[in-house]
Homo-oligomer: A and B are copies of this chain.
Amino acid sequence: MTSTSRTASAAHDARPHIVIVGGGFAGLWAARGLARAPVRITLVDRGNHHLFQPLLYQVATAGLSAPDIAAPLRHILRRQRNVEVRMATVTGIDKAARRIRLHDGAPDGDAADTTILAYDTLLLATGATHAYFGNDHWAAHAPGLKTLEDALLLRRRLLLAFERAEAETDPDRRAAWLSFAIVGGGPTGVELAGTLAEIARHTLREEFRNIDPASARVRLVEAGPRVLSAFPDALSERARRQLERLGVEVLTGTPVSDIDAEGFRLGERFVPARTLVWAAGVAASPLGRALDVPLDRAGRVQVGPDLSVPGHPEIFVAGDLATVVQDGRPVPGVAPAAKQMGHHVARTIRARLEGAAGAAFRYRDFGNLATIGRQAAVADLGRVRLSGVLAWWFWLWAHVFFLIGFRNRLVVLLNWTWAYWTYQRGARIIFGPAEDAPAPAAPPDHDPHSRR
């Protein structure tokens, strides 16, 4: 069933209709920036929540639970009367007619309705996904970490690997279960590797009888010469040392040449590792292609100085989906950049409503932060560079400060404080297979221990 207008009152609403696709940092900050503008906003997202992506690795390593780092979009925007939240998937964009096509509801096969949404201004902010440099078959063995679902799947795999090792009697197979590899030495990879080593050496210490979790091998594989290549050399080196002190084996200078279910190859050498994580490359959301405009090699949309699409001033792109070059370098795909872009789009829209032209976007780089483990981190803040404990505390407060919602901040602080003092990881629950499956049928007679 396709419907083209929602209610009578919407049809008579004379305010310009701004449609924002994507409830991440860019989309959410654009919506909030328009709170007092004389516009009507529809924020579309295929999920129901805003996700604090920088802390996703904490969910993946069982330090936080998923709701700690996410908040429902409806809740965040409940007081902003000019915005309506729609949980839907965009399936098409018609630039000439200024309309987009949506499938309402969850993208999981439920009977969904198709809706056409007309816009006056469109902002695409659907972010990035994983890229495997042409080796898409690696995705099955080395999944990435961009969504809550990714994080929960990874958490499950990490915890199960230790369980399988505990039950395994063959020494080689046990060692393979205790071998973990993270591909990609940027902040995500570094943070994952550090916390995984922490888990193996501290969190799980007394809990197994047949294995010593501390004997787990955690490898961080980076094709380039150093980890955290966006940081100054001195901080890269410090991060590497901190990782090695935690027990991570840092392998730089060689790209992964193949990945399968048993492990990975560096050149000719094969390394057994049953659990691999991909943190090496991102590509823009496929929605960029639906726009049918010039993209860069990673699928990002090339936008003008005010973040609108050349030739289509009514279409903006912000966040990881956009590529912006500043002073000869691309603006990085980090949370602060996405926020600033979203905010700029809102400012531009407001300016136009008053008959003014929009200013050019200028990214203000407040610095880079990456944490390596307990009280170890590196922070590059321009003139100030921190590492070790001081960087860690700075990182902690910066992240918590930027979280949405007081309650989330309190819970995250509480969880971290507890984990810090006890080395425990509070969210170590493995869910069974039937989490999103339809209710199971009666058990077959031959299986005496099937649950239903």
Contacts and interface: CB of A to CB of B under 8 A. Distances in A.
Interface of A: 1, 3, 6-7, 46-49, 65-68, 70, 72, 74-75, 78-79, 84-93, 104-110, 113, 115, 126, 129-130, 136, 139-144, 147-149, 152-153, 156, 159-160, 163-164, 166-170, 204, 206-210, 285-287, 289-290, 407, 410-411, 414-415, 418, 422, 424, 426-443, 447-452
Contact of A452 (B129, B208, B431): B129
A438 to B, nearest CB: 6
A434 B126 contact: no
A75 B207 contact: yes
Nearest to A48: B430
A414 to B, nearest CB: 7
Contact of A90 (B7, B48, B142, B449): B449
Given A75-B207, A209-B84, A436 B431 contact: yes
A-B pairs with lowest CB-CB distance, top 3: A290-B448, A108-B433, A143-B439
A245 to B, nearest CB: 25
Nearest to A79: B206
A115 B414 contact: no
B167 A104 contact: yes
Nearest to A75: B207
Given A49-B429, A451-B129, A435 B435 contact: yes
A434 B90 contact: no
Contacts of A410: 414, 418
A439 B139 contact: yes
A286 B443 contact: yes
A448 B143 contact: no
A88, A90, A289, A434 — most chain B CB neighbours (10 Å): A434
A156, A427, A436 — most chain B CB neighbours (10 Å): A436
A450 to B, nearest CB: 6
Contacts of A207: 72, 74-75, 78, 85
Nearest to A428: B72
A194 to B, nearest CB: 21
Contacts of A427: 65, 67
Contacts of A126: 449
Given A46-B451, A113-B167, A152 B435 contact: yes
Given A6-B169, A7-B169, A65-B427, 16 more contacts: A7-B210, A49-B429, A70-B429, A91-B449, A109-B433, A113-B167, A148-B432, A149-B431, A149-B434, A285-B449, A286-B448, A286-B451, A407-B418, A407-B424, A411-B426, A436-B436
B448 A106 contact: no
